[in-house]
């Protein structure tokens, strides 16, 4: 089976995993600070940041995009006005979130080497 | 059991507010986990403005008759312009579908997070509502309702509603308790502190962080009266209850000691001293890291409740148990099952234990700790029977590694997923 290396920067652990493994299946076992609740892509609490290798992770589904959108609208005061993900991302770019790739650990699968953090 | 007859009159709370709730004096167990010796009340309120009436919260479906009788005593359904649900749990939303059928013109106001629950609770996709958050307001002419987004007290959907002109805070379950007395007001029902404290300990305590956030919104308000959804209406010294929530929710240890110093607690129980020797070696390894407090406790020497107080204030919790008949021993499960009363999410944790034949206990404890969303950086440490010097060295390293992890300087590790 093909393998990939996923590094959790916050706890300094690199884990060799079978390709296709979801981030949350590993993060909870190495004590990473990546939190979680529903594990169904609904609540948005397992949000994490990709530091390196974003292209080696599965593409976000419509569900994941919708949850990320709702999450950012809710947590970032005054950004409730954004009409859709694209305009929200534009707002985030303006607010210095540039370059940060945020994903949901319960949805994202590992396809190649990457480094992540909460 | 009280046999007192209850009249169905609405009770004036202020000039413009009436209590239209329901009494449930025979209730003894609430939500499976709470006991009450004299029942509870489901408090709902009616607010009259110059341009319409608002209903704040409803009651449990089984007690809806009382609610509608009291409502009809002070208003016509056609006057209802606004319905606010501060919390969607069935004991407050039970009469909502019938209320909306009787007052179809009324607009329903709920929190942002309540939207996700409303449909699942009422099994009806056609409900029209307006989601609101902090500083949103709705006017009833000469009276104004302003909303406070106060999530996780004790569900994601919870909010409070403030009646600006009268200084009334409709607080939902916050400041509530399961206490039933038809005298209804805190200055008339006698001493209900035991009930108030018990309710906080079982409902609000796991959400202390959110209580403190909510108090930031509540404390600046000019509050003359707190109208919760359960128990006495707090019109005498309402500030006293707000201060009590502040006291109960503020971390105690951080007030008394250096707030930056972390705490590790090691609990163990041991039949022949083997798990105890492991605990001591782990403690020594952790202490070598330095910069945080380490305490060792034998579960045989204490009760669960005070240990839970310790766990709540600690940053890392390690638990050691022997394996007896393929399981961890009961005092360990008593402790671990009580973690649900507090918030342990994100605390560092670990398990260890000596065993004779099979050693299942450690993995079971690991699963429980991870299941509670604690951060378990290392798989549990198991040692067969009496630990050798080399094995005590492993314990020492285990304690040292978790100490490093707690201090934010985890040793770099490369592992295969099969080892996890």
Chain B: nearest CA to A48, how far in angstroms?
Answer: 15
Predicted TM-score of the model (pTM): 0.81
Check CB contact of B32 with chain A, cutoff 8 Å.
no
Determine what percent of chain B is predicted with pLDDT higher than 90.
Answer: 89
* Any domain includes B145: yes
Percent of chain B surpassing pLDDT 70: 97
Query: Which tokens sit at B299?
Result: 């579960």
Model confidence at A100, pLDDT cuts 50, 70, 90, reads: low
- Say yes or no: B208 and B82 in one domain: yes
Q: Both B138 and B57 in a single domain?
A: yes
Cβ within 8 Å, pair A14-B376: no
Chain B hits for A73, CB-CB cut-off 8 Å, are: none
User: Rounded mean pLDDT of B271-287?
Assistant: 97
Query: Which among B373, B410, B417 has the least Cβ separation from residue A17?
Result: B417
| B210 and B354 belong to one structural domain | no
Mean pLDDT of chain B: 94
Does residue B290 share a domain with residue B231?
no
Confidence of residue B59 (pLDDT cuts 50, 70, 90): very high
- The number of angstroms, rounded, from the C-alpha of B275 to the middle of its chain's C-alpha atoms is 34
Would you say residue B170 has pLDDT above 60? yes
Q: Measure in Å the smallest separation between the Cα of B411 and chain A Cα atoms.
A: 7
Contact between B405 and A31 using a beta-carbon 8 Å cutoff: yes
Task: Say whether both B111 and B64 belong to one domain.
Answer: yes
CA of B124 to nearest chain A CA: how many angstroms apart?
20
Question: For position B125, what pLDDT does the model report?
Answer: 76
Whether the CB of A17 is below 8 Å from some CB of chain B: the reply is yes
Pick among A29, A35, A40, A109 to test the B interface (most B CBs inside 10 A): A29
Q: How many domains does chain B have?
A: 2
Q: Say whether the peptide bond before residue B154 is cis (omega within 30 degrees of 0).
A: yes
* B56 and B205 both lie in a single domain: yes
- The predicted complex's ipTM stands at 0.79
Give the β-pairing of B40-42 and B22-24: antiparallel
- Position B1 scores a pLDDT of 40
Same domain, B226 and B310: no
Sign of the C-alpha dihedral computed for residues B143, B176, B345 and B117 taken in this order: negative
Q: What is the pLDDT of residues B90-123, one digit of tens each?
A: 999 999 999 999 999 999 999 988 987 888 888 8
Q: Which residues of chain B lie closer than 8 angstroms to A36, CB-CB?
A: 373
| Residue ranges in B290-412 assigned as alpha helix (H) | 304-313, 330-338, 361-371, 389-406
pLDDT number for residue B2: 42
Which residues of B are less than 8 Å from A29 in CB distance?
Answer: 370, 376, 420
Tell me, yes or no, if A74 comes closer than 8 A to chain B by beta carbon: yes
Quick check: A33 and B375 CB within 8 A?
yes
Thinking of the domain A3-117, which architecture would CATH place it in? Roll (3.10)
Kindly report the backbone phi and psi dihedral angles of residue A64, in degrees, each rounded to the nearest multiple of 5, phi listed first.
Answer: -65, -45
Taking a contact as any Cβ pair under 8 Å apart, which residues of chain B between 362 and 381 contact chain A? 370, 373, 375-378
pLDDT at B4 exceeding the cut of 50 = no
- Of B206, B202, B185, the residue nearest B194 (C-alpha): B202
Domain that holds residue B86: 11-249
**Which residues in chain B are contacts of A2 at CB distance < 8 A?**
none
Domain residues of chain A, as ranges?
Answer: 3-117
CA angle, B168 as apex, B165 and B173 as ends, to 5°?
150
Show which of B199, B226, B249 is a domain's final residue: B249
H helix intervals, B39-167: 64-74, 90-93, 96-102, 115-122
B414 and A14 in contact by Cβ < 8 A? yes
CB-based contact, B112 to chain A, within 8 Å: yes
Count how many pairs of residues, chain A against chain B, have C-beta atoms within 8 Å.
Answer: 54
Cα distance between residue B315 and residue B264, in whole Å: 6
For residue A98, what pLDDT is reported?
Answer: 47
- Condensed to tens digits (0 to 9), the pLDDT of residues B181-234 reads 999 999 999 999 999 999 999 999 999 999 999 999 999 999 999 999 999 999
Confidence band of A82 (pLDDT split at 50, 70, 90): low
* Same domain, yes or no: B294 and B229: no
Say yes or no to pLDDT of B295 above 60: yes
pLDDT of residue A71: 74
| Average pLDDT for A64-92 | 69
The CATH number of the domain where B233 resides is what? 3.60.15.10
Report CB contact under 8 Å: A33, B416: no
CB–CB of A16 and B416 under 8 A?
yes
B112, B346, B375: residue with CB nearest A74: B112
Residues of A in contact with B348 (CB under 8 A): 31
DSSP string covering B254-282 = HHHS-TT-EEEEEEE--SSSHHHHHHHHH
Reply yes or no on whether the pLDDT at B169 is more than 70: yes
Q: CB distance A31–B373 less than 8 Å?
A: no
Angle at CA of residue B219, ends B215 and B220, nearest 5° = 130
Say which residue, B356 or A93, is predicted with more confidence: B356
Identify which of A18, A31, A74 has the shortest CB distance to residue B417: A18
| Segment A14-26 mean pLDDT | 96
**Across B386-410, average pLDDT:** 96
**Residues B370 and B244 both lie in one domain:** no
Domain boundary at B203, B222, B249, which?
B249
Spell out which residues of chain B touch residue A4, defining contact as CB-CB under 8 Å.
none
What would the pLDDT profile of B242-272 be if each residue is shown by its tens digit? Answer: 999 999 999 877 666 666 789 999 999 999 9
Query: Is the same domain home to B147 and B279?
Result: no
B139 falls within a domain = yes
* Reported confidence tier of residue A89, pLDDT bands at 50, 70, 90: low
Chain A residue with Cα closest to B406: A11
CA angle A44, A47, A50 (to 5 degrees): 150
Residue A75 has pLDDT above 80, yes or no: no
**Of B119-133, B142-156, B212-226, minimum mean pLDDT range:** B119-133
What is the pLDDT, as a whole number, of residue A44? 85
For residue B3, name the pLDDT band (cuts at 50, 70, 90): very low
Single residue among B222, B249, B276 that ends a domain in this structure: B249
With a cut of 70, say whether residue A99 has pLDDT above it.
Answer: no
Report whether pLDDT(A85) > 90.
no
Q: What average pLDDT does the segment B129-142 reach?
A: 96
In a domain, B411, yes or no: no
Q: Is B417 on the interface with A (CB under 8 A)?
A: yes
Mean pLDDT of chain A: 84
Looking at per-residue pLDDT, the higher value among B279 and A47 belongs to B279
Same domain, B203 and B278: no
B281 and B143, same structural domain? no
- Residue B60 CB neighbours (<10 A): 21
pLDDT tens column, B326-369? 999 999 999 999 999 999 999 999 999 999 998 999 999 999 99
- B408/A43: higher pLDDT: B408
CA closest to A71 among chain B residues? B113
Task: Tell me the shortest Cα–Cα distance from A64 to chain B, in angstroms.
Answer: 16
């Amino acid at each position: 089976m093909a393998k990939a290396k996923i590094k959790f920067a916050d706890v300094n652990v690199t884990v060799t995993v079978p390709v296709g493994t979801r981030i949350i299946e590993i993060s909870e076992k190495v004590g990473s600070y990546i939190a979680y609740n529903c594990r169904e892509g609904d609540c948005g609490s397992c949000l994490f940041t990709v530091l390196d290798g974003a292209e080696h992770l599965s593409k976000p589904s419509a569900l994941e995009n919708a949850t990320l959108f709702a999450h950012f609208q809710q947590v970032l005061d005054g950004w409730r006005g954004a009409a859709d993900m694209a305009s929200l991302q534009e707002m985030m770019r303006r607010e210095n979130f540039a370059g940060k790739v945020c994903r949901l650990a319960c949805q994202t699968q590992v396809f190649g080497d990457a480094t992540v953090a909460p | 059991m009280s046999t007192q007859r209850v009249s169905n009159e609405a009770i004036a709370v202020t000039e413009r507010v009436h209590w239209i709730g329901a009494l449930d004096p025979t209730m003894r167990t609430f939500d499976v986990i709470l006991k009450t010796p004299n029942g509870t009340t489901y408090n709902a309120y009616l607010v009259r403005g110059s341009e319409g009436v608002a209903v704040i919260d409803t009651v449990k479906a089984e007690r809806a008759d009382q609610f509608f009788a009291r409502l009809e005593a002070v208003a016509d359904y056609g006057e209802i312009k606004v319905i606010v649900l501060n919390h969607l749990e069935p004991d407050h939303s039970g009469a909502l579908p019938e209320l909306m059928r009787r007052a179809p013109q009324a607009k329903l106001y709920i929190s942002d997070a309540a939207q996700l629950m409303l449909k699942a609770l009422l099994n009806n996709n056609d409900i029209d509502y307006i989601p609101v958050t902090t500083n949103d307001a709705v006017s009833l002419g000469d009276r104004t309702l302003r909303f406070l987004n106060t999530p996780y007290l004790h569900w994601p959907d919870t909010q409070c509603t403030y009646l600006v002109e009268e200084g009334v805070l409709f607080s939902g379950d916050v400041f509530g308790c399961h206490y039933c007395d038809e005298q209804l007001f805190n200055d008339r029902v006698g001493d209900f502190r035991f009930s108030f404290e018990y309710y906080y300990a079982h409902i609000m305590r796991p959400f202390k962080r959110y209580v403190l956030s909510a108090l930031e919104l509540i404390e600046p308000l000019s509050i003359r009266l707190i109208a919760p959804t359960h128990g006495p209406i707090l019109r005498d010294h309402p500030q006293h209850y707000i201060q009590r929530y502040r006291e109960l929710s503020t971390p105690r240890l951080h007030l008394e000691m250096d707030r930056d110093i972390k705490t590790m607690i090691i609990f163990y129980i041991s039949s022949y001293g083997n798990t105890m020797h492991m605990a001591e070696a782990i403690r020594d390894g952790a202490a070598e890291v330095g910069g945080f407090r380490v305490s060792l406790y034998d579960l045989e020497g204490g009760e669960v409740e005070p240990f839970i107080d310790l766990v709540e204030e600690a940053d890392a919790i390690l638990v050691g148990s022997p394996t007896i008949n393929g399981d961890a021993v009961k005092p360990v499960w008593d402790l671990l099952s009580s973690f649900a009363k507090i918030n342990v999410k994100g605390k560092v944790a670990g398990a260890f234990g000596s065993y004779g034949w099979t050693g299942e206990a450690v993995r079971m404890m690991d699963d429980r700790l991870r299941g509670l969303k604690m951060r378990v950086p290392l798989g549990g440490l198991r040692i067969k029977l009496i630990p050798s010097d080399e094995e005590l060295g492993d314990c020492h390293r285990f304690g040292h590694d978790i100490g490093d992890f707690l201090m934010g300087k985890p040793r770099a590790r490369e592992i295969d997923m099969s080892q996890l």
